[in-house]
């Protein structure tokens, strides 16, 4: 083992650059109005949690992200995780599916089934969901540009299984603004993308009322290198844009706001992460109450899913990631998350193996059933340090939100490159602090090993892509081509006008149109987003 001597500074700061004092005491909260800032759990401003008893009566939903290769192999992993005690499904899709390309498209070559499951058709979705209790399990689908298509596929399969759309529940990510900021799996330009999102809001309010229509995601913003403050500020600014777009489309805020949800990252700076989660609830409550005038209390609740930080995982000494994931998970639970995904320790190297997925799930179960931290809501409330830090995270986030408001909102700020520039600078400073030995990353720049053993990694089937293409060819050959063409033209007509595009999209799926064909129909009308043009 190599142990290096790193510079240790008396200047302590969080990952957002907030200075940490040597000691906190009652003087830090001397002018603090506890009732205004805290309330009780389940009451405004929801700093202490969105439900009165939080985990005393029911633990958070335990999810493990799964999705690789074919629909059948992902279905097997889903069943393995449910048997291991998982309480909710979370599905990853491959890049062609995310980008609206069928597996036989030239741009899909080499990517089919690599970072998620390939879903081209209703046949794939039937295979993915075979034997799963869709009326009992909630399903989160990490899908954005093609989110409407996957949601409708899910609804149609549920109906085929005898489960009405009113009984299914889950989430589609459906957050296109963060794609332009941080992730890149966009298809259409921002304005038509916003139109599809509000069409989803309207459709689900009528037909799939238990579905969370959007997971406004800070996770990928943080993965791109943002600070904790930037993560919640930029994400909540996106949330403002979605609410404004829905209202402009004629929707009543109390009809769609209760089904909005958020998606946060959990990193290693434990107390800042707890403060971030608490501050985000308070900010959203104030926005929904004061800016948008929501009447239903459910419209004011910031409910969120958390995933532990993928970018914090190291390829060096990967078992160390088990500890990182445990720390991050405890921060999410102490911060009041509604559901949680814990990363596998080997995810810096490959998709998680079954062993890594089981350990990640067991991490949640140990926290939930053995740690005792779930026995009372918001156990850190009233801490001099935590409350001071929560207030400071909130203050700095409001500053960013105000700057974005001054630019005209999130869409205009994205077009100006504001969020991307801020994230790039934060990522540079973080990387530089590691390179300069100002920040310790165990196993990377301190406590390193000269000869690390080769880890087991998830195997990739080299025949997978060919098999998926063969199944897709058979699917396309065995259908009414005239009916498919007619339904796709109906979709183009709706897209050119102002009708909700989900209705003709659903009929196109009934006629056996593929995900790529539906996406191409919308590309014909909406065009394709080209950054900087």
pLDDT along the chain (533 residues), means of 10: 55 95 94 89 98 96 86 93 88 96 97 94 98 94 97 98 96 95 94 96 95 95 98 98 95 95 97 98 98 98 97 97 98 97 93 90 97 97 97 98 98 94 97 94 94 80 92 98 98 98 98 98 96 70
Alpha-helical segments (H) within 442-501: 464-477, 481-496
Instruction: Looking at the structure, tell me whether residues 235 and 168 fall in a common domain.
Output: no
In a domain, 79, yes or no: yes
Q: What is the CATH number of the domain that holds 301?
A: 3.20.20.240
Torsion-angle region of residue 433: left (phi > 0), alpha (psi -120 to 50) or beta? alpha
CA count, 13 A, side-chain hemisphere, 374: 21
In a domain, 118, yes or no: yes
The structure's pTM equals 0.92
Instruction: Looking at the structure, tell me whether residues 21 and 95 fall in a common domain.
Output: no
Which helix (H) or strand (E) segment holds residue 89: the answer is strand 88-92
Instruction: Looking at the structure, tell me whether residues 133 and 247 fall in a common domain.
Output: no
In a domain, 265, yes or no: yes
Which pLDDT does position 9 carry in this prediction?
Answer: 62
194 φ/ψ angles, rounded to the nearest 5 degrees: -65, -35
Q: What CA–CA distance (Å, rounded) separates 340 from 264?
A: 10
Which pLDDT does position 8 carry in this prediction?
Answer: 53
Instruction: Looking at the structure, tell me whether residues 41 and 87 fall in a common domain.
Output: no
Cβ neighbours of 335 (radius 10 Å): 25
Instruction: Looking at the structure, tell me whether residues 471 and 430 fall in a common domain.
Output: no
Instruction: Looking at the structure, tell me whether residues 387 and 289 fall in a common domain.
Output: yes
Instruction: Looking at the structure, tell me whether residues 275 and 423 fall in a common domain.
Output: yes
Taking a C-beta distance cutoff of 8 angstroms, is the pair 307, 265 a contact?
yes
Structural domain including 423 reads 1-57+217-345+382-447
Residue positions counted in the chain: 533
Q: Which residue, of 423, 447, 471, is where some domain finishes?
A: 447
Which pLDDT does position 531 carry in this prediction?
Answer: 82
Residue with tokens 């996957």: 150
Q: What are 486-494's contacts with CB under 8 Å, separation 24+?
A: 486/511, 487/511, 487/513, 488/513, 488/517, 488/518, 488/521, 489/521, 491/518, 491/521, 491/522, 492/521, 492/522, 492/524, 492/525
Instruction: Looking at the structure, tell me whether residues 106 and 16 fall in a common domain.
Output: no
ω before 45 within 30° of 0 (cis)? Answer: yes
Q: How many domains does the chain have?
A: 2
């Amino acid at each position: 083992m190599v142990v290096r001597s790193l510079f240790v500074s008396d200047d302590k700061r969080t990952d957002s650059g907030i200075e940490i004092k040597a000691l906190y005491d009652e003087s830090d909260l001397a002018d603090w109005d506890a009732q205004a800032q805290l309330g009780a759990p389940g009451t405004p401003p929801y700093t202490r949690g969105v439900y009165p008893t939080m985990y005393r009566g029911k633990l958070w939903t335990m999810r493990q992200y799964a999705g690789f290769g074919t629909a059948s192999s992902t279905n097997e992993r889903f069943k393995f995780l449910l048997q291991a005690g998982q309480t909710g499904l979370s599905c990853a899709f491959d890049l062609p599916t995310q980008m609206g390309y069928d597996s036989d498209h030239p741009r899909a070559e080499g990517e089919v089934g690599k970072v998620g499951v390939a879903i081209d058709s209703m046949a794939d979705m039937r295979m993915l969901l075979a034997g799963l209790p869709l009326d009992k399990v909630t399903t989160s689908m990490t899908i954005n540009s093609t989110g409407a298509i996957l949601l409708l596929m899910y609804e149609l399969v549920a109906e085929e299984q005898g489960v009405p759309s009113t009984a299914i529940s889950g989430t589609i990510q459906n957050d296109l603004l963060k794609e332009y900021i941080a992730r890149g799996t966009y298809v259409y330009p921002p304005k038509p993308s916003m139109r599809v999102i509000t069409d989803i809001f309207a459709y689900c309010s009528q037909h799939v009322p238990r579905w969370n229509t959007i997971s406004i995601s800070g996770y990928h913003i943080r993965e791109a290198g943002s600070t904790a403050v930037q993560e919640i500020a930029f994400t909540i600014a996106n949330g403002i844009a979605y609410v404004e777009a829905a209202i402009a489309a004629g929707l009543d805020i109390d009809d769609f706001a209760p089904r909005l949800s958020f998606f946060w990252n959990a990193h290693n700076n434990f107390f800042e992460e707890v403060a971030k989660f608490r501050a985000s609830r308070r900010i959203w409550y104030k926005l929904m109450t004061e800016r948008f005038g929501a009447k239903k209390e459910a419209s004011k609740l910031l409910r969120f899913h958390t995933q532990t930080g993928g970018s914090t995982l190291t390829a060096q000494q990967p078992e160390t990631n088990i500890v990182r994931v445990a720390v991050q998970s405890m921060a999410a639970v102490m911060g009041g998350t509604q559901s949680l995904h814990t990363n596998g320790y080997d995810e810096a190297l490959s998709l998680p193996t079954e062993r890594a997925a089981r350990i990640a799930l067991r991490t949640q179960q140990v926290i939930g059933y053995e740690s005792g931290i779930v026995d009372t809501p918001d156990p850190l409330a009233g801490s001099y340090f935590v409350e001071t830090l929560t207030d400071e995270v909130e203050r700095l986030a409001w500053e960013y939100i105000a700057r974005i408001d001054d630019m005209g909102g999130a869409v205009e700020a994205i077009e100006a490159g504001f969020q991307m520039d801020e994230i790039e600078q934060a990522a540079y400073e973080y990387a530089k602090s590691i390179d300069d030995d100002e920040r310790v990353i165990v196993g990377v720049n301190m406590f390193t090993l000269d000869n690390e053993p080769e880890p087991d990694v998830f195997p990739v089937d080299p025949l997978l892509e060919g098999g998926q293409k063969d199944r897709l060819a058979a699917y396309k050959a065995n259908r009414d081509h005239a009916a498919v063409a007619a339904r796709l033209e109906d979709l183009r007509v709706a897209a050119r006008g102002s009708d909700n595009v989900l209705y003709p999209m659903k009929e196109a799926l009934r006629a056996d149109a593929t995900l790529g064909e539906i996406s191409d129909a919308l590309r014909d009308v909406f065009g394709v987003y080209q950054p900087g043009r």
